[in-house]
Amino acid sequence: MNIRKKFIIFSILWGIIPVIISTSICISNFNDKSIEMIKQNVAILASDQSTHLKSFFNENISNLKTDANIPMVMDLLVDSNSGASKENHNDNEKALGDIFSRRKKERFYISAELLINKNETIITSSDGGHINEKLIFSDEEIKKLRNDEAVVTDIIERKEFNSGVKSAIIASPIFFKNEYQGAIASVINMNYFEKLVNEIHFFKTGKMLVMDTKGVIAASNSVYIGGSIDKIDVSGNLYEKFSSIDLDKNPDGIIEYNIDRIEKIGYYSSIKSSGWVVLSGVEWNEFKTPINKSIENITVALFFIVLLIITSCAFIVNYFSKPIYKLLGVIRKIKQGDFTDRFVYNEDNEFGEIATAFNDLIDTIEKNKKNIEEKNRDLQSLTSNIPGGVYRFRIDNGEYLLDFASSGCLSLLGYKKNEFKEISSRKLVEFIHEEDIERIKKEMQNQLMKSSRYNIEYRIKRRDGRVIWILDNGQIVRDREGKLFSYSVVINITESKVVQEKLRLSEERYRIIMSQTEDIIFEWNITEDTVYFSENWNEKFGYKSVIINISKNIYKTNFIHKNDIRKLGKMLNDIIYGDSYTETEIRVRKNENEYIWCKMRITAMFDEDGNIFKAIGIIIDIDKEKKEAEELLYKAQRDSLTGLYNKGTSQSIVEDYLMNEGKDINGALFVMDLDNFKAVNDNLGHLAGDIVLTEISTIISNVFQENSIIGRVGGDEFIIFLKNVNSEEDIRKKAEELISGFRNTSNTEILDHNVSGSIGIAKYPEHGKSYKELFISADKASYSAKNNGKGRYCIFNEN
């Protein structure tokens, strides 16, 4: 890193960055303290009003307890609860009503004061109304009264109560001889709460509300909130935010919310005795605006400080660093071999003296450079590309005379330095193997016609008689006097030549082996996704032996039978995903219309990191063996006379169908027993009987050409399983066609002896869900058909 960059970085690190960091810290601290102060102010206000509200409730409860101690109150309650006559207490009721009326006038927020017996019935009121009416408390409120706890109800808005005016009830229980007798209660309107809220003025945007435990608003100075916090006319999240607070665990705290897209911060305080809540709120912008203004002022000051630092740096760079940087630029060019540039500085100061001395030095160096370049030309030619030995030949009249050999070259030739000096003749041809001389001359001549360089492989004879292969990489150079020299670098390549020869022999052995076998070798280059086949692929299949992008093209080509493409694709995927060996049997296209069975084996090859890069395999023609196996299987499964499935195969195929593809598909099993067939055997012999059986199998096959499994399961007994039955009509149609086949045959043996078939039919799955169950049902139906006159069919019936 140069001085100029270091200076700039140093200035940034120790000038600008500390200023930015310290300013950022100040701004952050200022912002945090401002926000904390805002939260404290909002919290103090809400807490004060919560305290006022708590005192208000406590004061009213205290007043009620005082009134409860009036003697006539207890008399009225005891008589009312015992059911005594009221006539003796009219004066007491009137006197107590007057006291309640005075209490109402003294407190502007009281709508009525009531005396209630233990059955929640009003027995005295401040205005003489609602006597003998029920004052409905909740079960929880009644429970609290009976436990000698004062009650502050939620806000009541009912037409039958206090003329529908928003009201709440403060009730204090009355006990006599430790038994609950009733309560004295004040019905309060919202005037006190409205006065409390409207007299509070804090901040420009400060708002406050008082609400009961259900979120019904007692009083609010916000234009957005009136009835309840869950019914705000504009968008906002106050209700969601407040609903998420557990007031039992957090009776007071900070709440941040928004109303009509205006962000606010507030403080809520819950009154433990009543559950009512005081909530204050202020718009964030009222505080953010002055804070942001302060931050802007600090930022502007920071900008001017940074600008001053940058200006100072620019002055220093221009006056001191610029000349140094220019000098460094000239030095870099000199390092690259360009001596034409000079350090120009015309000021009369220290840099001017440096420029004069530097330019004089470069002039001297440039003069010496040309002499050094000429002397180094020979050395450069000798030392370029020296992995082995170096030698030089002097060329006189076409003869190459060795006049210099490095120690490496002497080692290749098998000479020591003193032994080499004693050699009288140093002609190149005397070191070269006789069989290579003419070839070398031709190759050198051809190469030197194109350029002054040559590159030749040939054999040389060592001093000890051994022959080695060398690679001669040389260049013809003419000196200032016009003399020609050949400078060469030689490398011993004997080992690589031996490897090449072994490879050639290996390839020849491989070629001979492949010419003597029909098996095909293939190589799958996984990186290129290309498959190469041996030459006998073309001989066997008659088309190209290279497949590009096999992973994609395998599903597009037709050289693999369409039913076997997935098998081949799976084998390739198994190799790619880690299997080292796998094999499969597939059909490969031999000509346009013929596919032959082949066994394909493949083995993965891994690099030194364990990653697969190639796979080698063999393709073996197994078509003959496969077809012979299929023929044997066919014979094992078929009846030798009719060619139909034999008994065991018929049962196995039907059972396999019912357990797999035909599991939920309707079908039918036909069991046919021949009528009068024994007469043919008895009268015409078994040969005629075989002809009849063959003809009958043809009749069955013609009727049931598709979607059927046909088998001979006994001497004169056949089964047919009909697949995909849509209706019973389909079954009857097939049965009638089969019976008609007997009548319409041209076979004289069948006609002369009235051979027919008694057919029993069982429907799947109605008459059986397995082959055995179906066969039993169909066999019973077959006997029924035979007993009813032969040559007919019968569908199995449980009855």
* 617-654 pLDDT tens trace: 999 888 888 888 877 777 778 888 888 999 999 999 99
Q: Reply yes or no on whether the pLDDT at 383 is more than 50.
A: no
Question: H helices within 221-349, ranges in order?
Answer: 238-243, 285-316, 322-335
pLDDT score for 676:
87
Question: H helices within 638-725, ranges in order?
Answer: 647-659, 677-684, 686-703
pLDDT score for 378:
58
What's the pLDDT tens digit per position in 36-66? 766 777 778 778 877 888 888 888 889 888 8
Q: What average pLDDT is seen over the chain?
A: 83
What's the pLDDT tens digit per position in 490-502? 888 888 888 887 8
Cα separation, 342 vs 362, whole angstroms: 8
Cα separation, 500 vs 329, whole angstroms: 53
Give the long-range contacts of residues 430-435, CB within 8 A, separation 24 or more.
Answer: 431/402, 431/460, 431/461, 432/458, 432/459, 432/460, 432/461, 433/458, 433/459, 433/460, 433/461, 433/467, 435/459
- Cα 370 to Cα 337, 367, 376, distances in angstroms: 12, 6, 10
The predicted model gives 598-610 an average pLDDT of 90
At residue 433, φ and ψ (nearest 5 deg) are -60, 135
pLDDT score for 381:
55
Cα separation, 208 vs 46, whole angstroms: 8
CA 685 to mean position of chain CA atoms: 78
Cα separation, 100 vs 313, whole angstroms: 88
Cα separation, 584 vs 575, whole angstroms: 12
With bands split at pLDDT 50, 70 and 90, how would you rate the model's confidence at 545?
low
Strand order through the sheet with 756-764: 708-712, 717-722, 667-675, 756-764, 793-795
Cα angle, residue 696 at apex, residues 693 and 700 outer, rounded to 5° = 135
Residue entry with tokens 């009288």: 424
Residue 643: how many other CB atoms lie within 10 Å = 14
What's the pLDDT tens digit per position in 325-379? 777 777 777 777 777 777 677 777 776 777 777 777 777 777 777 776 666 565 5
The predicted model gives 214-236 an average pLDDT of 85
With bands split at pLDDT 50, 70 and 90, how would you rate the model's confidence at 400?
confident
Q: Which residues pair with 548 in a beta bridge?
A: 530
With bands split at pLDDT 50, 70 and 90, how would you rate the model's confidence at 665?
very high
Exposure string for 393-423, b = 16+ CB within 10 A, e = fewer: bebeeeebebeebbebbbebbbbeeeebeee
**407 vs 702, higher pLDDT:** 702
Supply 107's token pair.
């407190």
Give the long-range contacts of residues 153-162, CB within 8 A, separation 24 or more.
Answer: 154/212, 154/213, 154/214, 154/216, 155/190, 155/212, 155/214, 155/216, 155/218, 157/216, 162/111, 162/112, 162/187, 162/189
Cα separation, 418 vs 407, whole angstroms: 11
Q: What is the total residue count of the chain? A: 799
Q: Is 277 helix (H, G, I), strand (E, B) or coil?
A: strand
**Helix or strand (DSSP H, E) at 176:** strand 168-176
With bands split at pLDDT 50, 70 and 90, how would you rate the model's confidence at 556?
confident
Residue entry with tokens 């409205």: 194
Query: Of 10-14, 352-356, 532-536, 561-565, which has the strongest mean pLDDT?
Result: 561-565
Cα separation, 527 vs 519, whole angstroms: 25
pLDDT score for 407:
80
Nearest to 666 by CA among 761, 784, 799: 761
- Cα 476 to Cα 372, 382, 405, 486, 714, distances in angstroms: 21, 12, 16, 5, 100
Q: Which of 250-254, 284-288, 413-417 has the lowest mean pLDDT?
A: 284-288
Supply 487's token pair.
């400078």
Query: Of 545-554, 584-593, 668-677, which has the strongest mean pLDDT?
Result: 668-677
Q: Tell me whether residue 668 is exposed, middle or buried, using C-beta atoms within 10 angstroms of its C-beta: 0 to 12, 13 to 18, 19 or more.
A: buried
Q: Reply yes or no on whether the pLDDT at 572 is more than 60.
A: yes
Residue entry with tokens 């030194």: 608
Sign for the pseudo-dihedral over CA of 347, 351, 354, 360:
negative
pLDDT score for 292:
65
pLDDT score for 693:
92
Q: Reply yes or no on whether the pLDDT at 695 is more than 80.
A: yes
User: Could you report how far apart the first and last alpha carbons of the chain are, in Å?
Assistant: 107
Local structure of residue 319 (DSSP, 8 states): I
Cα angle, residue 27 at apex, residues 26 and 28 outer, rounded to 5° = 90
Under 8 Å between Cβ of 211 and 222: no
Cα separation, 3 vs 453, whole angstroms: 47
Q: Tell me whether residue 771 is exposed, middle or buried, using C-beta atoms within 10 angstroms of its C-beta: 0 to 12, 13 to 18, 19 or more.
A: buried
Q: Tell me whether residue 18 is exposed, middle or buried, using C-beta atoms within 10 angstroms of its C-beta: 0 to 12, 13 to 18, 19 or more.
A: exposed
pLDDT score for 88:
60
Residue entry with tokens 């009213």: 60
With bands split at pLDDT 50, 70 and 90, how would you rate the model's confidence at 699?
very high
With bands split at pLDDT 50, 70 and 90, how would you rate the model's confidence at 85?
low
Nearest to 773 by CA among 739, 790, 793, 798: 798
**Helix or strand (DSSP H, E) at 96:** helix 90-106
